[in-house]
Amino acid sequence: MSEISNQLEDLKESLPKNCTLVAVSKTKPASDVLEAYNAGHLDFGENKVQELTQKAEELPKDIRWHMIGHLQRNKVKYIVDFVHLIHGVDSFKLLKEINKRAKQVDRVIDCLLQMHIAEEDTKFGLDKAELDEILNSQELKEMTNIRIVGLMGMATFTEDSEQVKREFQSLKKLFDEIKNSDHINVQMDTLSMGMSGDYQLAIEEGSNMVRIGSAIFGSRNQ
């Protein structure tokens, strides 16, 4: 067995059964993705649209591609006909664009709303007021080509595990609140939080989807 498939197997064994592992393959060659695919893995995440479309073209068609990076509205059209899940929906304008483009290709696209939970300013994401505006809007009810299936968040990059824990807890609390309310086009079943450095903490706090790159593929290629 290869190093990549060994890492994958070890990781999967350590995760709860209900937790989806998104193998983050950004900057890695298609051959690495193929190795993980041949070991039985189907969920892969990319940060950049260009890299995502390139790999999707080269690699097997049953791969479930996750767009996990910041997505610009003018790039949506390049991924709508194949993307499995868009993690980083951080504005209502972006959601509307995804719906419009999905309609053109006759698809319903699953999306996660990205919340700003970190104390760093550099992270993208919605605040609570923006989230409420989206969920309670008449427009959302009329969007037939998207489905909001959960939330995504990135914790602060810090050694302070208590802070990271607090940030994950705040996202889980929000997730539960929405899950227990009644919104059209919203079906809260995915909480995407946790990366290579903090996924264990994220799982303890209720994550059921983790985005892991370096722990599978080794450190990132620059």
Entry pTM:
0.94
151: three-class secondary structure by DSSP: strand
Contacts 24+ apart (CB under 8 A), 163-167: 163/119, 164/198, 164/201, 165/201, 165/204, 165/205, 167/117, 167/118, 167/119
Other C-beta atoms lying within 10 Å of the C-beta of residue 11 = 18
Q: pLDDT tens across 102-149, in order?
A: 999 999 999 999 999 888 766 689 999 999 999 999 999 999 999 999
**Structure-token match 């193998």, residue found:** 23
Query: Domains in the chain, ordered, with CATH?
Result: 3-217 (3.20.20.10)
Looking at residue 185, its pLDDT comes to 86
Residue 115 · residue 126 · CB < 8 Å: yes
